[in-house]
Amino acid sequence: MPLFRDLRPAARWRLALLSILTLGVVIAAGAPTLRHSLLRSAGWALVAEDPPAKADIIVISTDALGAGILEAADLVHAGFARRIAIFDRPATRISREFARRGVQSLDLKNVSIQLLHGLGITDIAVIPPVVGTVDEGKVLQQWCAANSIHSILFVSVADHSRRTRRVLDRALIPGGIRVMVRYARYSEFDPDSWWQTRGGQRTQAVESQKLLMDILRHPL
């Protein structure tokens, strides 16, 4: 190397070794930042965010619960739609047993409606129950067609939102239904710090596998 040419061999080796050690220190010092950047990128790979626009209705994902209700209410108050739709909840073995014993069990549909009413939302529609994200696309396509819905804002939890957008695009766009996916800001999953908790690590692992499987099954 021209820089080392005028040095004696021993001096060149010492300078080269010092350069390697210096480079190693720089890399080691920068590793936490690089690591955090890569981890954040992995978290945000699960998250989809479409620019909001006026829609016929806002639909809350069946698993978004309180976070989805808050996000949907904020979208209504911002003027993007006047109606909100939630998915119905089928009766479970547990709820039927409570009813048999004369006790009213927790009804998530009614609780959701009460929370929306508390946030000032009164125009609420109920969509038939679903089982999983893929089923949401199928049921929503049929419901939108039957109710003359041409555009929706769909609220999902953060870690499901990118896979949800892929599912809804396949189910709704061919039928001429415009869909915009928004992730709920109060979702438990935080793409900027998911690796700091066991729950976040578990969610990242599970949802990454599901997203990868969806991409492999539907590459386009």
pLDDT along the chain (220 residues), means of 10: 48 55 50 79 93 96 93 97 93 83 82 94 95 90 95 96 95 94 95 94 93 88
Structure tokens belonging to residue 3: 């820089």
Residue 25 pLDDT: 46
pLDDT reported for residue 37: 85
pLDDT at 14: 55
* Mode of pairing for the β-strands spanning 178-183 and 84-87: unpaired
pTM for this prediction: 0.81
Query: How open is the CA angle 21-25-29, to the nearest 5 degrees?
Result: 170
DSSP state of 129: P
Query: So what's the pLDDT on residue 7?
Result: 45
- pLDDT for the residue 195: 92
Give the per-residue pLDDT at 31: 62
Shortest CA distance to 155 belongs to which of 138, 171, 176, 140? 140
Q: How many CA atoms lie within 13 A of 21 on its CB side?
A: 6
Whole-number pLDDT of residue 26:
45
Angle at 67 between CA 61 and CA 70, to 5 degrees: 100
Which residue is it, tokens 């766009």? 173
DSSP per-residue codes, 34-76: HHHHHHHHHHHTT---PPP---SEEEE-TTTHHHHHHHHHHHH
Spatial distance between the Cα atoms of 183 and 185, rounded to a whole number of angstroms: 6
d(CA 192, CA 42): 9
Using an 8 Å Cβ cutoff, are 41 and 207 in contact?
no
Encoding tokens for residue 176? 């001429």
pLDDT for 97 equals 87
